[in-house]
Structure 1
Amino acid sequence: MQHGSVTVNGVRIAYVEQGEGPLALLLHGFPESGEATYRHLIPALAAAGYRAVAPNIRGFAPSALPADGSMLLADLVADANALHQALGGGSDAVLIGHDWGAATAWAAAATAPERWSRVVVSDVPPLWYFARYAGTYEGIERLNHFWFFQMDIAETVIAADDMAWLRQVMQDKWTAPGYDATEDFEATRKALGEPARLRAALDLYRMNFGPKVMGTPEWEAAHMALWGALPTQPTLYLHGTADQSVSLDEEALAAIGASLSDGSETAFVEGAGHIVPAEKPDAYNALVLRFLKKEV
């Protein structure tokens, strides 16, 4: 893999890339990195004839911290669409996202449909499902890090003992039993090991799900405008059966599939937790590559 960087929206974004062909932009989530999350998919896409590019989002080293400190989802969406242009993407480019990258992909594909021919999303379902789920008893319990991260003490707790809290939660909750999250955690240490980096990562939750704004009409309107609309492009949605953050059953997955555009698909990835691209790469890669190759 080659390393590079480009400046979009005033922020230098670092990335790894491999291959030649149509752009495939791979967006990661919290608390990961693009290279670690997609370490298995990048070479597979390159072999399939794509230029696979996996950036680290703003604030996550070695990408730059935004000068204004803004970590709004709207910024991530603007960065994704600007990366399409800066990297020379065409109308045949594909957009792939996981976790925060999933929310970004839902929005970027809907707000700039001319840039992306197909969309692959995993681990965070569309807003209409996610918002409803987040307010249920199960959702509040499973997404309790959303609320913990609002506390000032979160930075101290997470940084302590070489980020031991993140190591444990990545191993015990965010990935399925039997998966070794060591490589993912080491990437997290590199991306968020500095206090300013960790603060920026927590600001993803503080700025987008702040306790004084979340649930207000203004907050709902802003999120609906950003990622309430679904992509018009063919979309593949994937979800791990052992995901302990966002729970889906067959009925919910079918409803998500019914809401997507023609040519779209949904599938469970058996035995995967919340970091599906890294946990079950053979199954994930096969589903992604088949979807990208199929005629619609």
Structure 2
Amino acid sequence: MPSDADADAVTRTANRRDLEEGIRTDFSEDLSYGTYLDLDRLLSAQHPRSDPPQHDELLFIIQHQTSELWLKLLVHELRSARSLLMADELQPALKRLARVKHIQHTLTDQWAVLATLTPSEYAQIRPWLATSSGFQSYQYRAVEFLLGNKNVDMVRVFDHDDAAHHMLDELLHEPSLYDVFLAYLSRRGYAIPQDVLDRDATQPPALHEGLVDVFAAVYAAPGEHWGVYETCEELVDIEDNFQEWRFRHLQVVTRTIGHKPGTGGSSGVDFLRRALDLTFFPELYAVRSRIP
């Protein structure tokens, strides 16, 4: 009969996963996970400013830093989708847009973490933000520009940052994802109005009834236009997701500061609420009224 000591040894062994023989443990020369991801630099990039230190400031910093990483990936994927459409490669572009939607969901879900910050807790760290504001995120503006919400005034916010200013100025003058999609349709024989194809790329889209006519024909017979129909719905999904992100942002700001002005000088909640009226793809919503 086994002793109590033997039984304890069996229990400890059963509750332990031994390293397999082939698992690497010496990274004096080989590439490690931390080195590949540059974790030393990444994890040392949080610099709370509150004095005395406030526990919740790290949450606020990490929330926004991780958002910027996801925005970087959004820009990467949207640029790629745009290039693929320019090359008439619709299916790979749709794969990119599917990934964009998942990234958007992650960004929106993150608001739930920041919403755990109560008004009293946020008040302890807000003074240390000084004049910094999420409004000043150039990657967020890059995503908006890629989707078509162009605004030259936004570029001037980044006069102090040559790299950001250059990036946004380029995107301001380049066609948006929607512009490229419409050009793709024209090459495929769809009757895209010429003034739509020749429009000023620095301006946001304005509803064009002739373009609604084109999409009405697509939605009247989706089976005959499946790839185009699917792309239209993917774009609508992306806009819906973007609006959901905007709304969650609005709600989190409302619950933490009410109607106080924003740290960057905006009116705060009222300024954010006006963004809900903006649209990237006006004809893809207008066409819904045409469907019997």
**Rg larger in 1 or in 2?**
2
Higher helix share: 2
Q: Normalising to structure 2: TM-score of the pair? A: 0.27
TM value normalised by structure 1: 0.27
Instruction: Looking at secondary structure, tell me which structure has more strand per residue.
Output: 1
